[in-house]
Amino acid sequence: MGRIILTGDRPTGRLHLGHYVGSLRRRVELQEEGNYDRMFVFIADVQALTDNAANPEKVRQNLIEVALDYLSVGLDPEKVTLFIQSMIPELTELTVYYMNLVSVGRLQRNPTVKSELQMRNFGQGVPVGFFTYPISQAADITFCKATTVPVGEDQEPMLEQCREIVRRFNQTYGEVLVEPQIMLPENAACLRLPGLDGNAKMSKSLGNCIYLSDPAKEVETKIKSAYTDPSHLHVEDPGHVEGNVVFTYMDAFATDDDFAEFWPDYKCLDEVKEHYRRGGLGDMKCKKFLTKVINSRLEPIRARRKEFEQDIPEVYNILKKGSEAAREVAAKTLSEVKAAMRINYFDDEQLIREQAERFREKK
Q: Least separation, in Å, of the C-beta of 7 and ligand TRP? A: 4
Residue 244, interface with ligand TRP (CB under 6 A)? no
Residue 291, interface with ligand TRP (CB under 6 A)? no
Q: Least separation, in Å, of the C-beta of 280 and ligand TRP? A: 42
The separation between CA 312 and the C-alpha centre of its own chain, rounded to angstroms, equals 23
Q: For residues 4 and 149, which CB has a smaller minimum distance to ligand TRP in the complex?
A: 149
Residue 214, interface with ligand TRP (CB under 6 A)? no
Residue 141, interface with ligand TRP (CB under 6 A)? yes
Stretch that binds ligand TRP, among 1-9, 101-109, 196-204, 310-318 (CB under 6 A): 1-9
The separation between CA 349 and the C-alpha centre of its own chain, rounded to angstroms, equals 42
The shares of helix, strand and coil residues in the chain, as percent rounded to the nearest 5, are 60, 5, 35
Binding-site size, ligand TRP (CB under 6 A)? 13
Q: Least separation, in Å, of the C-beta of 140 and ligand TRP? A: 4
Q: Is 344 exposed, middle or buried (0-12, 13-18, 19+ CB in 10 A)?
A: middle
Angstrom distance (rounded) from CA 286 to CA 83: 40
The separation between CA 338 and the C-alpha centre of its own chain, rounded to angstroms, equals 29
* Amino acid occupying residue 226: A
Residue 113, interface with ligand TRP (CB under 6 A)? no
Residue span 118-137 as binding mask against ligand TRP, x where in contact by CB under 6 A, dash where not: -------------------x
Q: Is 246 exposed, middle or buried (0-12, 13-18, 19+ CB in 10 A)?
A: buried
Q: For residues 159 and 250, which CB has a smaller minimum distance to ligand TRP in the complex?
A: 159
Stretch that binds ligand TRP, among 2-10, 26-34, 117-125, 307-315 (CB under 6 A): 2-10
Angstrom distance (rounded) from CA 90 to CA 113: 24
Q: For residues 18 and 77, which CB has a smaller minimum distance to ligand TRP in the complex?
A: 18
The separation between CA 276 and the C-alpha centre of its own chain, rounded to angstroms, equals 34
Of residues 29 through 88, those in contact with ligand TRP by CB under 6 A are 44, 47
Q: For residues 146 and 245, which CB has a smaller minimum distance to ligand TRP in the complex?
A: 146
Q: Least separation, in Å, of the C-beta of 137 and ligand TRP? A: 4
Residue 151, interface with ligand TRP (CB under 6 A)? yes
Angstrom distance (rounded) from CA 163 to CA 299: 39
Angstrom distance (rounded) from CA 259 to CA 266: 6
Q: Least separation, in Å, of the C-beta of 124 and ligand TRP? A: 24
Binding residue (CB under 6 A) for ligand TRP from 5, 9, 38, 294: 9
Rg (CA), the chain: 24
Residue 269, interface with ligand TRP (CB under 6 A)? no
Binding residue (CB under 6 A) for ligand TRP from 4, 75, 80, 149: 149
Q: Least separation, in Å, of the C-beta of 297 and ligand TRP? A: 21
Q: Is 18 exposed, middle or buried (0-12, 13-18, 19+ CB in 10 A)?
A: buried
Stretch that binds ligand TRP, among 4-12, 24-32, 51-59, 210-218 (CB under 6 A): 4-12
DSSP state of 24: I
Residue 8, interface with ligand TRP (CB under 6 A)? yes
* DSSP H or E run through 302: helix 283-309
Angstrom distance (rounded) from CA 277 to CA 214: 31
Cα-based angle 215, 188, 17 (whole degrees, multiple of 5): 15
Residue 145, interface with ligand TRP (CB under 6 A)? no
What residues make contact with ligand TRP under the rule CB under 6 A? 6-10, 44, 47, 137, 140-141, 149, 151, 155
